[in-house]
Amino acid sequence: MKIESANRIIWVDLGYSDDYDNLTGMRPYLLVKEKVNNQRVTYKLFVITSQDKQLLSQYEIRQLPTCLKISPSFINLTRLIYLRTQVGTVKICKKCSVGCLKENEFEFVIKQQKAYSSNKWNARYLRVIEVER
């Protein structure tokens, strides 16, 4: 059962913090994939961030979607989030008609993240974070 499509921005407070990441407070994530099992859903997410300069491990969103207000905004290629939660508990973008990113840009980001994570030198910086809510 598919409840939402990929390529949507979701807003959620993951309530997650450690020595490397502070993913607390309501913030945007790019929904890459979802898997529904009964009333539980697992979202695969990329962190969206904004700052003054772009890091090598980030992709700058070229065409800012309606649902994001801060320019520039970047997708962090080194953080992969798996959020497991009840169906219907996260705020998913409804402002963008088809997808939040242009389809070719979304596909490019997916390819960039796969290329980044498959490079043995970059793999040591890749972090997979699992959050249960």
Position with higher pLDDT, 123 vs 40: 40
- Among residues 24, 30, 25, the alpha carbon closest in space to that of 10 is found at 30
Confidence of residue 3 (pLDDT cuts 50, 70, 90): very low
Give CA separation, 34 vs 6, 60, 70, 79, 122, in Å.
7, 23, 26, 17, 25
37: tokens are: 């099992």
Q: 127 φ, ψ to 5°?
A: -120, 130
Count Cβ neighbours within 10 Å for each residue of 106-117 and write b for 16 or more, e otherwise.
Answer: beebbeebeebe
Q: Which domains does the chain have, with CATH numbers?
A: 8-132 (2.30.30)
Asked if residues 30 and 101 have their Cβ atoms less than 8 Å apart, the reply is yes
Q: Is 101 helix (H, G, I), strand (E, B) or coil?
A: coil
Strand partners, 16: 23
| The predicted structure's pLDDT at residue 71 | 85
What confidence tens digit (pLDDT) does each residue in 54-101 have? Answer: 777 889 999 899 899 888 899 998 899 999 999 888 888 888 877 899
Residue 1 has pLDDT above 70, yes or no: no
Asked if residues 129 and 79 have their Cβ atoms less than 8 Å apart, the reply is yes
Q: How far is the C-alpha of 88 from the C-alpha of 64, rounded, in Å?
A: 25
